[in-house]
Amino acid sequence: MNKPETFADIAVLGAGAWGTALAVQAAAKSGAKVTLWARNQARAQAMRTVLENPRLPGIALPANLTVSSEITPAGLYLVCVPMQNLRALLADIPQSQAPLVLCCKGLETSSLLLAPELAAQCQPHRPVAVLSGPNFAHEIAAGLPAAAVLATPHANLRPQLVAALSTASLRLYGSADITGAALGGAAKNVIAIAAGVVMGAGLGENARAALVTRGIAEIARLAVALGGKAETVSGLSGLGDLLLTCTGVSSRNYSLGHALGKGLTLAEILQSRSSVTEGVATAPALLARAQQADVDMPITAAVTALLAGELDVPGTMQALMGRALKDE
C-alpha cells in the first residue's frame, strides 16, 4: 500500500447530520481544507447561504468548510451516506490511493455485505477503514466529549488516520479488526429496535438489560464466524454503541422500536420520518448473513419477524422468552 500523500484535503461525503458533524470537527481541528458533499445541489446551495445544516440547528459551518454538490479529489474521504446508497457512491469517487473511512453502518440488503466488504469489492486497490462508536451527531458537532474506534488492517495507516481525525473532544482508538467494528455498528441498530419495543411495551428495565446483554452475545458469535474478534464487540464499536443506542432518546432505532411497542405500525412510524432508520433494512440482511454462517441470532430473528408483520409485540416476547433453557 502506498503511503497517502496528504490529508490536507478532506472530503466528507454525505451532508446529513453525521457527515456534517464530522466535517465541522475536521475543519475546526487544524484549519485543513474540508469539503462537505451533498447529493442535492439546492440543498448544498442553501447550506452555503445560511452556513448551517437544518439537521444540526445552531451549529455554524466553519469558514474553511466548503459545501459542494460535486465530489472532488481529496487526500482522505469520510463516507457518511446511508448504507443502501454506498455502492452507487463508491462508483462516483475519483480513483486514487486516498483512504476511505467508512462512517456508515449496516449491511447492503442485496448482497448482505458489510460496508468494508462492499468497499473492497468496488474499490479493491484503495485502503479502507471504519469509524464506529457511541456517537450522536448533535453532540459531536457541539464538541461534547466522545470516543470511537478507527479500525483498519493497514497497520501503517491506522495511526495516521487516528491522528488526523482525533480532536480535543473526540478521542479515537485504533483497531485492526475492521470486520468486528463494522458488524458491531450494524447489528446494534437491530438490538436497539428490540430494546425500544421492550420499553415501549412497558416490559421494564430488567427486560431491557437482559436483552442488551444477550444481544452482545449474539453479535459476538457472528463476529467470530465472519473472522472478527469477540473482544471488539465488547468495546466502543459494539457494547459502547449498543448502550447509547438502546438508551438514548435521540436514537432513531430505539425510538422506532419504542413506537412499535406502543402499538404504532411500521408504516405509520416511517411515514412520519425524513431520515433513514438503518435497523429496518439491516435486520433481515443481518439474519440472512447469520443463517449463511450457521449462527443463531434469536433477537435479530424476532425483530425481523416483527418488522415483517409476522409477529406482534406479545408474540415477539413469547418467541424470545420461550426458548429452550440452557447455560449462559
Full pLDDT tens readout for the chain, 328 residues: 444 445 879 999 999 999 999 999 999 886 678 999 999 999 999 999 999 999 999 999 998 999 999 998 999 999 999 999 999 999 999 888 999 999 999 999 999 999 999 999 999 999 999 999 999 999 999 999 999 999 999 999 999 999 999 999 999 999 999 999 999 999 999 999 999 999 999 999 999 999 999 999 999 999 999 999 999 999 999 999 999 999 877 899 999 999 999 999 999 999 998 888 999 999 999 999 999 999 999 999 999 999 999 999 999 888 887 777 677 7
Q: What is the structure's pLDDT at 177? A: 98
Q: What is the structure's pLDDT at 4? A: 40
Domain ranges of the chain: 9-176, 186-321
3-state secondary structure of 124: coil
Q: Which residues of 201-240 are buried (b: 16+ CB within 10 A; e: fewer)?
A: beeeeebbeebbebbbebbbbbbbebebbbebbbbbbbbb
- For residue 85, give the amino acid letter: N
Q: Contact at 8 Å (CB) between 144 and 96?
A: no
End-to-end CA separation in angstroms for the chain: 43
Residues in the chain: 328
Q: Which residues are catalytic?
A: 188
Question: Is 186-321 a CATH 1.10.1040.10 domain?
Answer: yes
**Rg of the chain in Å (alpha carbons):** 19
Q: What is the DSSP letter of 16?
A: S
Phi-psi region of 325 (alpha: psi -120 to 50; beta: other; left: phi over 0): beta
Q: Contact at 8 Å (CB) between 124 and 233?
A: no
Q: What is the structure's pLDDT at 1? A: 43
Q: What is the structure's pLDDT at 5? A: 43
Enumerate residues 6+ apart whose C-beta is below 8 A from 212.
Answer: 191, 195, 242, 243, 246
Question: Is 9-176 a CATH 3.40.50.720 domain?
Answer: yes
- How remote is the C-alpha of 129 from its chain's centroid? 13
Fold: same for 9-176 and 186-321 = no
Q: What is the structure's pLDDT at 328? A: 76
Q: What is the structure's pLDDT at 30? A: 66
